[in-house]
Amino acid sequence: MSRTFLVFAESRDGKLRQVAFETLSAARASAEAGDQVLALVVGSGASSIAGELAAYGADSIYTIEHSDLNQYNPEGYFAAVKKAIDETKPDAVLFGHTAIGRDLAPLVAASLQAGQISDVTAISRSGSDVVFTRPLYAGKAFEKRSFTSSPWVVTVRPNNIQAPAPDSGRTASVTALTYPAPSLRTIIKEVVKKTTGKIDLSEAKIIVSGGRGVKSADGFKPLEELADVLNGAVGASRGACDAGYCDYSLQIGQTGKVVTPEVYIACGISGAIQHVAGMSQSRIIIAINKDPEAPIFKIADYGIVGDLFEVVPLLTAEFRQVLNV
């Protein structure tokens, strides 16, 4: 019997996020031939960006446009997703494991009396049996989990399940649904965009991260310059956050964010277990530290023993030259 997978395709600032394509890819990886993969896009302008999802694997696309949905509000977004669920009766609902998906998926799971597998990093399928891999202890261990009942709710960690190359030959129907406009007990008063123009840590391909060795808030400037040249994001260790050098939203580790970039450049980070848990799944790790005995060198692919305030600007200059930026 064919099944239906509904993907919540997240957008930001009027554009679909990369994680939307990755979540679609996760649905496709869970689906057998003949199964249907549906996508939902919400917010003003949803219908103008929805079409792009066809090329990435959506069979049918649903949109819900309403000004309530231009900014994340748990109640408004839940009402929208519930509307799409009532309309399409999916066997599984998938979200990105993002600020929105992490918050929204448990509401959907609870309302459906469903199980949820969170923060999935890999999917394997044999027939209709699907096994989801996810980290425990921020990546100090991994478990494989499966569902024992239906429907399923899944959140997919950004940057782990590759989005397919777009196939511009694919087409999908686009259906507009009506927002059921619940009365909201949560009123969003203001959104302070601190990240405009910056690359989100969880989606960044390159992360330049600073620890206690950065010594001050100003000490992050050379790291920011390197990140800019590499089109990457800046992160931090708990030590740097606790010392007040940067915002907690930059923290990487077992408390904080878990990241899996292509390249992780650890500057002045000793490599405490709790930090390593949050970044050890990065593809390439580079350590820059004055202390040759720092534990970070034990897991780094490449290490430079030296003062980050000397090394990082040299690295920035070298990349500028080589990359022509």
Partner 1 sequence: MNIYVLLKQTFDTEEKIAIENGSIVEDGVKFIINPYDEYAVEQAIQLRDDLGGSVTVISVGPDRSVEALRTALAMGADEAVLISDDRIPQDEYAVSKALHAYLSKQNVDLLLGGNFSVDNGGGQVAIRIASLLGIPHTGSVTKLEINGDTALVHRDAEGDLEVSVVTLPALFTAQQGLNEPRYPSLQGIMKAKKKPLQTLTLDDLGISPSEITAQTSRVELSLPPVRNAGKILKGELQDQVRELVGLLRNEAKVL
Give the footprint of partner 1 on residues 179-238 (CB under 8 A).
185-195, 198, 200-202, 206, 230
CB of residue 157 to partner 1, shortest distance in Å: 10
CB of residue 25 to partner 1, shortest distance in Å: 21
CB of residue 274 to partner 1, shortest distance in Å: 4
> Binding to partner 1 (CB under 8 A): which residues in 278-297?
280-281, 283-286, 292, 297
CB of residue 85 to partner 1, shortest distance in Å: 14
**Residue 226, CB-side half-sphere exposure with 13 Å CA sphere:** 27
Are 72 and 100 a contacting pair, CB within 8 Å? yes
Distance CA 4, CA 6 (A): 7
Residues 6 or more apart from 208 whose CB is under 8 A from it?
223, 224, 226, 227, 230, 232, 233, 234, 235, 265, 267, 312
Distance CA 45, CA 64 (A): 9
Amino acid occupying residue 320? R
Are 308 and 314 a contacting pair, CB within 8 Å? no
Residue (51 or 299) nearer to partner 1, CB: 299
Structure tokens at 49: 């960006």
Amino acid occupying residue 187? I
CB of residue 44 to partner 1, shortest distance in Å: 18
> Binding to partner 1 (CB under 8 A): which residues in 103-142?
103, 105-107, 109-111, 113-119, 131, 135-142
CB of residue 233 to partner 1, shortest distance in Å: 9
Judged by CB under 8 A, the number of residues near partner 1 is: 97
Residue (171 or 231) nearer to partner 1, CB: 231
> Binding to partner 1 (CB under 8 A): which residues in 136-175?
136-149
Q: Is 298 in the site for partner 1 (CB under 8 A)?
A: yes
Distance CA 156, CA 168 (A): 24
Residue (163 or 272) nearer to partner 1, CB: 272
Residue (169 or 292) nearer to partner 1, CB: 292
Q: Which residues pair with 265 in a beta bridge?
A: 208, 286
How many other CB atoms are there within 10 angstroms of residue 150's CB atom? 12
The position carrying tokens 């496709």 is 28
How many other CB atoms are there within 10 angstroms of residue 111's CB atom? 13
CB of residue 117 to partner 1, shortest distance in Å: 6
Q: Taking the C-alpha atoms of 210, 214, 217 and 222 in order, what is their torsion angle to the nearest 10 degrees?
A: -80
The position carrying tokens 């919400």 is 42
> Binding to partner 1 (CB under 8 A): which residues in 305-324?
305-306, 310-311, 314-315, 318-319, 322-323
Which residue in the set 24, 84, 236, 250 belongs to the binding site for partner 1 (CB under 8 A)?
250
CB of residue 50 to partner 1, shortest distance in Å: 23
Residue (86 or 301) nearer to partner 1, CB: 301
- What distance separates the 2 farthest-apart alpha carbons in the chain? 63
Q: Is 273 in the site for partner 1 (CB under 8 A)?
A: yes
Distance CA 295, CA 281 (A): 16
Residue (72 or 172) nearer to partner 1, CB: 72
| DSSP code, position 67 | G
Residue (57 or 151) nearer to partner 1, CB: 151
Q: Is 49 in the site for partner 1 (CB under 8 A)?
A: no
Q: Is 86 in the site for partner 1 (CB under 8 A)?
A: no
CB of residue 135 to partner 1, shortest distance in Å: 7
Residue (89 or 193) nearer to partner 1, CB: 193
Are 277 and 138 a contacting pair, CB within 8 Å? yes
